[in-house]
Protein backbone atom coordinates (compact mmCIF):
# COMPACT_ATOMS: atom_id res chain seq x y z
CA UNK A 1 0.00 0.00 0.00
CA UNK A 2 1.31 3.44 -0.90
CA UNK A 3 2.02 5.69 2.07
CA UNK A 4 -0.25 8.65 2.72
CA UNK A 5 1.66 11.89 2.22
CA UNK A 6 1.65 14.56 4.91
CA UNK A 7 2.48 18.22 4.86
CA UNK A 8 4.87 19.57 7.45
CA UNK A 9 1.89 20.93 9.37
CA UNK A 10 0.60 17.41 9.79
CA UNK A 11 -2.37 17.77 7.42
CA UNK A 12 -3.12 14.56 5.52
CA UNK A 13 -2.94 14.66 1.73
CA UNK A 14 -4.65 12.29 -0.66
CA UNK A 15 -2.57 9.28 -1.74
CA UNK A 16 -1.00 9.43 -5.16
CA UNK A 17 -3.20 7.96 -7.92
CA UNK A 18 -2.12 4.63 -9.36
CA UNK A 19 -0.12 4.77 -12.57
CA UNK A 20 -2.01 4.28 -15.83
CA UNK A 21 -0.16 1.74 -17.96
CA UNK A 22 -0.26 1.75 -21.74
CA UNK A 23 -2.23 -1.48 -21.68
CA UNK A 24 -4.80 0.03 -19.31
CA UNK A 25 -5.08 3.18 -21.39
CA UNK A 26 -5.66 1.07 -24.51
CA UNK A 27 -8.42 -0.78 -22.66
CA UNK A 28 -10.11 2.50 -21.72
CA UNK A 29 -9.72 3.80 -25.29
CA UNK A 30 -11.43 0.70 -26.65
CA UNK A 31 -14.18 0.83 -24.01
CA UNK A 32 -15.03 4.49 -24.71
CA UNK A 33 -14.95 3.91 -28.46
CA UNK A 34 -17.24 0.89 -28.19
CA UNK A 35 -19.72 2.65 -25.93
CA UNK A 36 -19.68 6.21 -27.32
CA UNK A 37 -17.92 6.15 -30.68
CA UNK A 38 -15.28 8.55 -29.33
CA UNK A 39 -11.59 7.77 -29.81
CA UNK A 40 -9.32 9.09 -27.08
CA UNK A 41 -5.99 10.09 -28.61
CA UNK A 42 -2.74 9.31 -26.76
CA UNK A 43 -2.64 12.98 -25.76
CA UNK A 44 -5.72 12.31 -23.56
CA UNK A 45 -3.86 9.96 -21.24
CA UNK A 46 -3.28 12.67 -18.62
CA UNK A 47 -6.95 13.66 -18.86
CA UNK A 48 -7.99 10.07 -18.13
CA UNK A 49 -5.79 10.00 -15.02
CA UNK A 50 -7.04 13.39 -13.87
CA UNK A 51 -10.72 12.62 -14.31
CA UNK A 52 -10.82 9.04 -13.04
CA UNK A 53 -8.34 8.99 -10.15
CA UNK A 54 -10.77 10.38 -7.59
CA UNK A 55 -13.37 7.77 -8.52
CA UNK A 56 -10.79 5.00 -8.12
CA UNK A 57 -10.07 6.27 -4.59
CA UNK A 58 -13.78 6.47 -3.75
CA UNK A 59 -14.33 2.87 -4.82
CA UNK A 60 -11.07 1.55 -3.41
CA UNK A 61 -9.96 0.26 -6.82
CA UNK A 62 -6.24 -0.54 -6.75
CA UNK A 63 -5.73 0.04 -10.48
CA UNK A 64 -7.34 1.45 -13.61
CA UNK A 65 -7.83 -2.08 -14.96
CA UNK A 66 -9.81 -2.99 -11.83
CA UNK A 67 -11.97 0.09 -12.30
CA UNK A 68 -12.53 -0.72 -15.98
CA UNK A 69 -13.69 -4.23 -15.07
CA UNK A 70 -16.17 -2.71 -12.65
CA UNK A 71 -17.49 -0.30 -15.30
CA UNK A 72 -17.91 -3.16 -17.76
CA UNK A 73 -20.00 -5.08 -15.22
CA UNK A 74 -22.00 -2.20 -13.74
CA UNK A 75 -24.20 -0.12 -16.07
CA UNK A 76 -24.39 2.80 -13.61
CA UNK A 77 -20.60 2.91 -13.34
CA UNK A 78 -20.34 2.67 -17.12
CA UNK A 79 -22.40 5.85 -17.42
CA UNK A 80 -20.29 7.51 -14.76
CA UNK A 81 -17.06 6.71 -16.60
CA UNK A 82 -18.46 8.13 -19.84
CA UNK A 83 -19.67 11.20 -17.94
CA UNK A 84 -16.12 11.82 -16.75
CA UNK A 85 -14.39 11.43 -20.09
CA UNK A 86 -16.87 12.62 -22.73
CA UNK A 87 -17.90 16.12 -21.69
CA UNK A 88 -16.95 19.34 -23.44
CA UNK A 89 -17.11 23.02 -22.61
CA UNK A 90 -19.41 25.53 -24.25
CA UNK A 91 -20.72 29.05 -23.89
CA UNK A 92 -23.69 31.19 -24.88
CA UNK A 93 -23.97 32.18 -28.56
CA UNK A 94 -20.89 30.21 -29.49
CA UNK A 95 -20.14 30.60 -33.22
CA UNK A 96 -22.45 33.61 -33.54
CA UNK A 97 -22.77 33.43 -37.33
CA UNK A 98 -25.16 30.50 -36.87
CA UNK A 99 -27.44 32.57 -34.68
CA UNK A 100 -27.14 35.52 -37.08
CA UNK A 101 -28.16 33.22 -39.95
CA UNK A 102 -31.25 32.18 -38.01
CA UNK A 103 -32.16 35.70 -36.88
CA UNK A 104 -31.54 37.43 -40.22
CA UNK A 105 -32.59 34.84 -42.78
CA UNK A 106 -34.35 31.71 -41.55
CA UNK A 107 -36.71 33.01 -38.87
CA UNK A 108 -37.95 36.08 -40.78
CA UNK A 109 -38.79 33.78 -43.70
CA UNK A 110 -40.70 31.40 -41.47
CA UNK A 111 -42.53 34.24 -39.78
CA UNK A 112 -43.43 35.82 -43.10
CA UNK A 113 -44.84 32.62 -44.55
CA UNK A 114 -46.46 31.53 -41.29
CA UNK A 115 -44.80 28.09 -41.16
CA UNK A 116 -41.43 26.34 -41.23
CA UNK A 117 -42.09 24.40 -44.41
CA UNK A 118 -42.34 21.11 -42.50
CA UNK A 119 -46.10 20.79 -42.73
CA UNK A 120 -46.42 21.40 -38.99
CA UNK A 121 -47.55 25.02 -39.31
CA UNK A 122 -46.20 27.25 -36.55
CA UNK A 123 -44.67 24.43 -34.51
CA UNK A 124 -40.86 24.59 -34.44
CA UNK A 125 -38.88 21.53 -33.35
CA UNK A 126 -35.17 21.84 -32.57
CA UNK A 127 -32.60 19.28 -31.42
CA UNK A 128 -29.48 20.44 -29.60
CA UNK A 129 -27.30 17.31 -29.70
CA UNK A 130 -24.40 17.48 -27.26
CA UNK A 131 -25.96 20.30 -25.27
CA UNK A 132 -23.43 20.21 -22.41
CA UNK A 133 -24.46 22.54 -19.56
CA UNK A 134 -27.28 24.13 -21.54
CA UNK A 135 -25.81 27.28 -23.07
CA UNK A 136 -26.55 26.20 -26.64
CA UNK A 137 -30.23 25.18 -26.24
CA UNK A 138 -30.99 28.27 -24.19
CA UNK A 139 -29.24 30.49 -26.74
CA UNK A 140 -31.51 28.92 -29.35
CA UNK A 141 -34.53 29.41 -27.11
CA UNK A 142 -33.79 33.14 -26.77
CA UNK A 143 -33.39 33.68 -30.53
CA UNK A 144 -36.45 31.62 -31.46
CA UNK A 145 -38.72 33.16 -28.84
CA UNK A 146 -37.60 36.68 -29.74
CA UNK A 147 -38.26 36.25 -33.46
CA UNK A 148 -41.25 33.88 -33.30
CA UNK A 149 -43.56 35.33 -30.63
CA UNK A 150 -45.99 33.17 -28.71
CA UNK A 151 -48.62 35.86 -29.29
CA UNK A 152 -48.57 34.95 -32.99
CA UNK A 153 -49.16 31.28 -32.23
CA UNK A 154 -45.61 29.99 -32.57
CA UNK A 155 -44.88 26.84 -30.53
CA UNK A 156 -41.24 26.06 -29.79
CA UNK A 157 -40.00 22.64 -28.67
CA UNK A 158 -36.26 22.24 -28.05
CA UNK A 159 -34.85 18.81 -27.25
CA UNK A 160 -31.47 19.12 -25.51
CA UNK A 161 -29.45 15.91 -25.29
CA UNK A 162 -26.07 14.82 -24.02
CA UNK A 163 -24.23 11.62 -23.20
CA UNK A 164 -23.46 12.80 -19.67
CA UNK A 165 -26.18 12.45 -17.03
CA UNK A 166 -24.21 14.69 -14.68
CA UNK A 167 -23.97 17.47 -17.24
CA UNK A 168 -27.66 17.13 -18.11
CA UNK A 169 -28.57 17.60 -14.46
CA UNK A 170 -26.66 20.88 -14.47
CA UNK A 171 -28.32 21.96 -17.71
CA UNK A 172 -31.80 21.27 -16.32
CA UNK A 173 -31.19 23.82 -13.59
CA UNK A 174 -30.81 26.56 -16.26
CA UNK A 175 -28.42 28.30 -13.89
CA UNK A 176 -24.96 29.69 -14.66
CA UNK A 177 -22.29 31.93 -13.09
CA UNK A 178 -23.23 35.55 -13.67
CA UNK A 179 -19.92 36.12 -15.49
CA UNK A 180 -21.48 34.29 -18.44
CA UNK A 181 -23.90 37.21 -18.90
CA UNK A 182 -21.19 38.91 -20.97
CA UNK A 183 -21.69 36.25 -23.66
CA UNK A 184 -25.38 37.11 -24.18
CA UNK A 185 -26.55 40.05 -26.33
CA UNK A 186 -28.08 42.67 -24.05
CA UNK A 187 -31.65 42.57 -25.48
CA UNK A 188 -31.83 38.83 -24.82
CA UNK A 189 -30.15 39.17 -21.43
CA UNK A 190 -32.68 41.76 -20.25
CA UNK A 191 -35.66 39.84 -21.62
CA UNK A 192 -34.88 36.29 -20.52
CA UNK A 193 -32.29 36.10 -17.71
CA UNK A 194 -32.79 36.64 -13.98
CA UNK A 195 -29.97 37.80 -11.69
CA UNK A 196 -29.79 36.12 -8.29
CA UNK A 197 -30.02 38.14 -5.09
CA UNK A 198 -28.48 37.72 -1.67
CA UNK A 199 -26.59 34.44 -1.44
CA UNK A 200 -27.40 33.79 -5.13
CA UNK A 201 -26.05 37.05 -6.51
CA UNK A 202 -23.17 35.28 -8.24
CA UNK A 203 -25.64 33.32 -10.39
CA UNK A 204 -28.16 33.96 -13.14
CA UNK A 205 -31.06 31.82 -14.28
CA UNK A 206 -33.25 31.54 -17.37
CA UNK A 207 -36.77 32.74 -16.68
CA UNK A 208 -39.73 30.35 -16.56
CA UNK A 209 -40.99 31.17 -20.06
CA UNK A 210 -37.61 30.20 -21.53
CA UNK A 211 -37.23 27.07 -19.39
CA UNK A 212 -40.61 25.85 -20.62
CA UNK A 213 -39.25 25.65 -24.18
CA UNK A 214 -36.43 23.18 -23.42
CA UNK A 215 -36.60 19.52 -22.42
CA UNK A 216 -33.71 17.18 -21.71
CA UNK A 217 -32.85 13.58 -22.52
CA UNK A 218 -29.75 11.42 -22.25
CA UNK A 219 -28.76 10.34 -25.76
CA UNK A 220 -25.76 8.41 -27.04
CA UNK A 221 -25.15 9.42 -30.66
CA UNK A 222 -23.25 6.17 -31.16
CA UNK A 223 -26.37 3.98 -30.99
CA UNK A 224 -30.07 3.95 -31.84
CA UNK A 225 -30.74 6.67 -29.38
CA UNK A 226 -34.47 6.78 -28.66
CA UNK A 227 -34.99 10.25 -30.16
CA UNK A 228 -38.47 10.42 -31.64
CA UNK A 229 -39.71 12.42 -34.60
CA UNK A 230 -38.23 14.96 -36.96
CA UNK A 231 -36.82 18.43 -36.44
CA UNK A 232 -36.62 21.73 -38.31
CA UNK A 233 -33.16 22.47 -36.89
CA UNK A 234 -30.50 20.08 -35.60
CA UNK A 235 -27.47 21.60 -33.86
CA UNK A 236 -24.61 19.15 -33.34
CA UNK A 237 -21.61 21.44 -32.96
CA UNK A 238 -18.14 20.56 -31.74
CA UNK A 239 -19.24 17.01 -30.96
CA UNK A 240 -18.28 15.09 -34.08
CA UNK A 241 -14.64 16.19 -33.76
CA UNK A 242 -14.31 13.56 -31.00
CA UNK A 243 -15.49 10.74 -33.31
CA UNK A 244 -13.40 8.74 -35.74
CA UNK A 245 -14.52 8.86 -39.42
CA UNK A 246 -16.65 5.70 -39.28
CA UNK A 247 -18.46 6.73 -36.09
CA UNK A 248 -18.85 10.27 -37.43
CA UNK A 249 -20.53 9.02 -40.62
CA UNK A 250 -22.95 6.84 -38.62
CA UNK A 251 -23.80 9.69 -36.25
CA UNK A 252 -24.46 12.10 -39.13
CA UNK A 253 -26.77 9.60 -40.82
CA UNK A 254 -28.73 9.28 -37.57
CA UNK A 255 -28.99 13.06 -37.30
CA UNK A 256 -30.19 13.36 -40.89
CA UNK A 257 -32.94 10.79 -40.39
CA UNK A 258 -34.40 13.16 -37.80
CA UNK A 259 -34.46 16.20 -40.12
CA UNK A 260 -37.52 17.34 -42.03
CA UNK A 261 -36.82 17.57 -45.79
CA UNK A 262 -36.67 21.37 -45.37
CA UNK A 263 -34.66 21.12 -42.15
CA UNK A 264 -31.11 22.29 -41.43
CA UNK A 265 -28.11 20.67 -39.76
CA UNK A 266 -25.58 22.92 -38.00
CA UNK A 267 -22.04 21.68 -37.27
CA UNK A 268 -19.08 23.29 -35.51
CA UNK A 269 -16.59 25.53 -37.32
CA UNK A 270 -13.91 22.83 -37.36
CA UNK A 271 -16.26 20.09 -38.59
CA UNK A 272 -17.13 19.11 -42.13
CA UNK A 273 -19.14 16.48 -43.99
CA UNK A 274 -16.59 16.30 -46.80
CA UNK A 275 -15.67 12.75 -47.62
CA UNK A 276 -18.55 11.23 -45.68
CA UNK A 277 -20.72 10.74 -48.77
CA UNK A 278 -23.73 12.22 -47.01
CA UNK A 279 -26.92 13.25 -48.77
CA UNK A 280 -26.75 16.97 -48.02
CA UNK A 281 -26.10 20.32 -49.68
CA UNK A 282 -24.32 23.24 -48.04
CA UNK A 283 -26.35 26.38 -47.33
CA UNK A 284 -23.31 28.14 -45.88
CA UNK A 285 -20.13 26.84 -44.23
CA UNK A 286 -21.10 24.22 -41.60
CA UNK A 287 -24.84 24.56 -42.29
CA UNK A 288 -26.43 21.81 -44.37
CA UNK A 289 -29.81 20.78 -45.73
CA UNK A 290 -30.93 17.36 -47.04
CA UNK A 291 -30.70 16.93 -50.79
CA UNK A 292 -34.08 16.85 -52.52
Active-site positions read 51, 162
What is the distance between the alpha carbons of residues 268 and 241, in angstroms, rounded to a whole number? 9
Long-range pairs of 75-81 with CB within 8 A, sequence gap ≥ 24: 78/35, 79/165, 80/55, 80/166, 81/31, 81/32, 81/52, 81/55
Mode of pairing for the β-strands spanning 280-284 and 287-290: antiparallel
Closest by CA to 239, choosing from 180, 171, 286, 170, is 286
**Secondary structure class of 214 (helix, strand, coil):** strand
Q: What share of the chain is helix, strand, coil (3-state, %, to 5)?
A: 45, 20, 35
Straight-line distance from the first to the last Cα atom of the chain, in angstroms, rounded to the nearest whole number: 65
Helices 22-36 and 45-59, axial angle in degrees (round to 10): 90
What are residue 121's DSSP bridge partners? none
**Burial label, 262 (beta-carbon count in 10 A; 0-12, 13-18, 19+):** middle
CA 257/CA 273 separation, integer angstroms? 15
Q: How far is CA 270 from CA 213, 226, 266, 273, 279, in A?
A: 29, 27, 12, 11, 20
Give the bridge partners for 155, in sequence order.
Answer: 123
- Residue 156 gets the label, from left (phi > 0), alpha (psi -120 to 50) or beta, of beta
Amino acid sequence: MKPVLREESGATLAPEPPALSEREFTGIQQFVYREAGIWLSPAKKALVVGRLSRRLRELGCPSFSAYLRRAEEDSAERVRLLDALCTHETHFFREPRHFDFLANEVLPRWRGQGDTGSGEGKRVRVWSAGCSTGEEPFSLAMVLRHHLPAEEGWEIDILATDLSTRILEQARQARWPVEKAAQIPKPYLRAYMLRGVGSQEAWMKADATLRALVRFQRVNLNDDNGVVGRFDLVFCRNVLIYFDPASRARAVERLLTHLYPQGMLFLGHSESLLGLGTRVRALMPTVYAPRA
